[in-house]
Amino acid sequence: MHWLVLIISGVLEAVWAAALDRTQGFTRLAPTVVFAVALTASMAGLAYAMRGLPLGTAYAVWVGIGAVLTACYAMWSGQEPISAVRVLLLAGIVGCVIGLKLTH
């Protein structure tokens, strides 16, 4: 259960990061609300997951999921360029996250 909550929390990290970009300095209400809700839920999930997982593993997986999904969203939306090197490096992060799960 801790792993499932951690994965969902990592997805929510990407949600709040994308919403933060859309707030335009917290001047837009809807993205600001999405940011606040996703941030709160993401942190609460991370805190719960850390009760059953090692600190370093939980944090690395949480950040890895959030970073990869945020970068993929930015490439998909056209905010960042897509390149083979970028995709390969993101795949490396995914591989490391899977490795941390498998070695737990």
What are the DSSP calls for 21-38, one per residue? Answer: HHTTTTTSHHHHHHHHHH
- 103 and 45 Cβ atoms separated by less than 8 Å: no
Q: What is the signed CA dihedral for 39, 41, 44, 50, rounded to 10 degrees?
A: -90
Pick from 24, 16, 18: nearest CA to 80: 18
- CB atoms inside a 10 Å sphere around CB 27: 8
Number of domains in the chain: 1
pLDDT tens-place string over residues 61-81: 999 999 999 999 999 999 999
Domain that holds residue 68: 2-103
The pLDDT tens digits for 34-66 are 999 999 999 999 999 999 999 999 999 999 999
**Average pLDDT score, the chain:** 95
Q: Is this structure's pTM higher than 0.75?
A: yes
In this prediction, residue 100 carries a pLDDT of: 84
With a CB cutoff of 8 Å and minimum separation 6, the contacts of 52 are: 1, 2
